[in-house]
Amino acid sequence: MKFLDQAKVYVRSGDGGGGAVSFLREKYVEFGGPNGGNGGRGGDVVIECVDGLNTLIDYRYQQHFKAKTGTHGMGKDRAGAHGENAVLRVPVGTQVFEDDNETLIADMTEVGQRFVMLSGGNGGFGNAHFKTSSNQAPRHANPGQPGVEKWIWLRLKLIADAGLVGLPNAGKSTFLAAVSAAKPKIADYPFTTLHPNLGVVSIGERDFVLADIPGLIEGASEGVGIGDRFLGHIERCGVLIHLIDGTQDDIAHAYKTIRSELSAYDAQLGEKSELVVLNKVDAMAPDDLTEKVKLLKKLSGQKVLQISGVTGQGVDQVLYGVVETLDEAKAAKAEALRRQTEPGWTP
């Protein structure tokens, strides 16, 4: 299945059905009176979050979605049926934007969540509705209200607990393949990963979802390489795993490049919790390793984890670090919510 994380679609709600003009014509009924029924309501456009999807590829082949028109009213006081809804089924993590691709309309984060994007037009009243004591034979009815149309953007942001970031060929896909059952493409050339990959990681008695995104290079925020649009997939992550290739010469530049690109994309993304991991230590000389670990520790201001994605050295330590960071974030959030419930709390 191909991966598509953004699509532009046209949606239109259904028109309301028109009311009917009708009179009762029955033997032995001298003054039958009006009996035109009301029109049915037009169908709505509904966004539904469903399980089992992880891409928006369906919207590459169909971009127009129109709800059905309500059925017109009929004689004998028969009201028209409501029009059928147009339902757009999207994966968890999909955001819906206006045509400007900036104004957020809805954020679909839970399976079963439904959002009525556009309401269908109301059905028109039949002539029976207008019957009064002074107008006992109305000969007019209302037409149904027209539906509403617009273009919208669907943008998928994968929901993962942790995200892998780093320069191309830092070993992100190798790490994901080593700790989960995911099978990302692995090769010895840059930009092997062209779309995000997800894997479920088990460590101890805990599970979490890990996301691997394409590598970033200097100037990605300005469109260099394949850009930074894929960073949207790690916006929801609780912690970032920053992988740095230990075999390259200038690891300081590599670290600073990723940090600057994260901040350029979104200031909040640049402030996320981060684990600094020096990869490919199995291919490094001991003296070189010690020197680069010391340099990274000085730059990041935190402990530097040393691993080898190929041999598995130090990998569990990183995974336990992810679990610990996620638990700390969860506890901090629970404490913040508890404080909000206390009397006298002010934001």
Which residue numbers belong to the known binding site?
166-173, 191-195, 212-215, 279-282, 308-310
Its sign, for the CA torsion 327, 228, 166, 174, is positive
Which tokens sit at 299?
Answer: 């730059």
Bridge partners (DSSP) listed for residue 9: 152
39 exposure class (CB count in 10 Å sphere: 0-12, 13-18, 19+): buried
Exposure on the CB side of residue 121, measured as CA atoms within 13 A: 26
Annotated binding site for GTP: which residue ranges?
Answer: 166-173, 191-195, 212-215, 279-282, 308-310
- Measured distance CA(180)–CA(198) in Å, rounded: 9
82 CB-near residues (< 8 Å, 6+ apart): 40, 41, 42, 43, 70, 71, 120
- Measured distance CA(14)–CA(71) in Å, rounded: 10
Residue 172: φ, ψ to 5°: -65, -50
Phi-psi region of 70 (alpha: psi -120 to 50; beta: other; left: phi over 0): beta
CA dihedral 283, 285, 286, 288 (to 10 degrees): -110
Angle between helices 172-179 and 315-341 (to 10 degrees): 80
Annotated binding site for Mg(2+): which residue ranges?
Answer: 173, 193
Residue 287: φ, ψ to 5°: -65, -40
3-class DSSP assignment, residue 100: coil
Query: Which of 272, 253, 254 minimizes the C-alpha distance to 262?
Result: 272
